[in-house]
Each structure stands twice: as C-alpha cells, then as structure tokens.
Amino acid sequence: MKTTPGRIIAAVVAIAAMLPYLTLKVLWLTGSSVGVTDPALMDDPTMYGMNLLTFGMDAVALILALGFTMRWGMRLPAWVVLLPLWVGTGLLGVIVITTPLGLLIQGESLFAFGGPIEPWVYLMVYGGFIGQGVGLMAAFVLYARDRWPAVFTTLTGHPYRSFTRPFQRVVAWGSLAVTAVIAGVRCYWALGGAGGLPPGAAEAMTPAGALQQGTQGLLALSAGVALVVLVRARGRRPFWQPLVVAWLGSGALFGWGLYGMIVRVSAGPLGGGGGALPDLVLLFGMLTGLVMAMYGAFLLAERSGVGDVQPPQQPLESEDRHGDRQPAHHGHR
C-alpha cells in the first residue's frame, strides 16, 4: 500500500511547524539566552531538565510524523505509535482549540505573560503548536485509516466477543463520575468562581485562561460520556466517532495532568503556586486519563476482529507478494 499524498502533506506541515520549536530548544540547551530577558534562567537545573524533556517530546513527534510517510512506519508496534500520539494529541488538541479563540478574545495580549520569556517566543511556540497539532492529527488519521481500517468501517453497536466487559463497565461509569466532578470544578473556575484557588487567582484569570479551563472541563466530561457510549455498544453510529472523543478527552486529561504535576513537583522558576484543589484536579485528571487509556487498550484489542476489512494489499507486503496476506486487524496486536 502506497503512502497517500494527503498523508505526506499533513506530515510535512507538522514537521515544518516543529522545526522552530526544536531549534529554540537546542539553542537554550546549548547555553543561548535568545528570547529570554534573564539569562540566568537557562542555568537553572530545573529549566534545563524541562527544556530537555520538551525537546524529547517534540523529537518523538517528529520521528512519528516521518513514520507516517514511510513504509517502516507501518511496521512499528501499535503501542509505539498510539501511546505518544495519544498524549501528544491530548496536549496539542487543547492548544489548537483555545489559542485561536483566545486571540479573538484578547488579541496580542494573549501572549503577554510577563516574566523572563519574551512575548514573541510564546507567539512562535504556540503558532507552531497549532500547525504541529493540525498536521500531526491529520497525518495520524490517514495513517490509522490505512493500517486499521476496521476502526473506520464498523458501527458502535457491532457485536463482538468480550472477556473484560464487566471491567470495562466499571471503568467507563467510574470515569464518567470522576470527569463530571473535574468538569464541574473547571467550569466553575471558568465562570469566575474562586473556591479552591489561591488568593487572587480568580481575579487574575484572563478570558483566555477561563476559556482553557472550560475547554479542559468539557473535554473531560465528553470523554467520560464517550466511554459509556463505547461500553454500551449500541446504536448505528460509526465506531470512530465516540472513539475520537474519548481519545482526545482522555489524552488531554492525562497529558495536561502529567505536565502540571511535573511542573508542580519540580518547583521550577515558571511553576508558580497551584493550591491544593488545583493540584488534586491535575492528579485525578492524570490518573483518570490513564485508566481510560487502559480501558481503550482492552476495547481495541477485543474489537480487533470486528468488521474485518481486507484492503487491496497489506501495508507490510512488497508489491509483488500476494500469498502472505494477513487479516487487516493484525496491527492492533
């Protein structure tokens, strides 16, 4: 199976959007203070570690984007592709949604965070994140459609044999309960509530900050509802629709929760004080997102034979081999 032009274009867009960010991280890791008003900031061990971590995350995304355009990408184990893309799309999805809306609400002041980082750095970084997120998600969807076609061709209510259905029900309904609480707290803060926040935090929250709180809350609740829809396995809606909602929402819960906890624990110069309740929201979001991912792994493994669709030629075959085809669900295992 040849790589489609759409997949190549989307991957190229993602890679091009990553390069300025990766370049900036390399400069900072090698001692440059470009874009920084306080050069001593880059000498802080915590900042160095955070820069190294975020550089590594973007480097992994770049390798995967390349894999989406080449035959060796189809040979990667499923978890090697799905795990980092799940976290990455969860992080980037929130930015893709909130940054353009934040610009409409606040204009250029959206990036006037103050502190030791120049505003143009935030503009460049978040602009790159939008391009990276759109390109990477589009390339991944096209890649997944070729590698796992049954995900896109079966219905939610299609029957399948499940050995873990009781476990999945507990996880789905439990996740919905937790995400409802998280969504309620975040939407309360988004609407101006001050309960549980550090003194002055509610007054200092910008419209864009409120938008991000509300978006993360709604994504969390949507993911909980989508998991219940998936575990009930009823109706004639395409299977991929609730799966995408659960994927993005759970990825945002885990990705932003993990990132927030790392910032809090490391107590770096850019961390700030979180407060007990915000930290609990991050912690429970991270744990709930992780449990949702475990549910998704069981679900996809058990549905791997549902509505099996045999493509004209398997991605791992060479052009002239026709006798060694395997079922189309092979990539799930």
What pLDDT, in 10s, does the model give residues 68-99?
A: 999 899 999 999 999 999 999 999 999 999 99
* Mean pLDDT to the nearest integer, 53-81: 94
Residue 238 and residue 293: Cα distance in Å, rounded?
Answer: 20
Lowest mean pLDDT among 184-188, 306-310, 312-316: 312-316
* Residues 6+ positions from 321 with CB-CB distance below 8 Å: none
Q: Does residue 305 register a pLDDT over 60? A: yes
Query: What predicted TM-score, i.e. pTM, was given to this entire model?
Result: 0.86
Give the residue with greater pLDDT, 140 vs 315.
Answer: 140
Residue 281 and residue 197: Cα distance in Å, rounded?
Answer: 11
Q: Does residue 279 register a pLDDT over 70? A: yes
Integer-rounded Cα Rg, in Å, for the chain is: 21
Per the DSSP assignment, residues forming a β-bridge with 117 are: 36
Measuring CA to CA, which residue among 246, 237, 203 is closest to residue 86? 246
Q: Does residue 165 register a pLDDT over 70? A: yes
Task: Identify the burial level of 325 via C-beta atoms within 10 angstroms of its C-beta, where 0-12 means exposed, 13-18 middle and 19 or more buried.
Answer: middle
Q: Does residue 232 register a pLDDT over 70? A: yes
pLDDT for 176 equals 97
Six-digit token string for 254: 């885990």
pLDDT for 271 equals 60
Ramachandran class of 162: left when φ > 0, alpha when ψ lies in -120 to 50, beta otherwise:
beta
Number of separate helices (H) and strands (E) present in the chain: 10, 0
pLDDT for 211 equals 95
Q: Does residue 327 register a pLDDT over 80? A: no
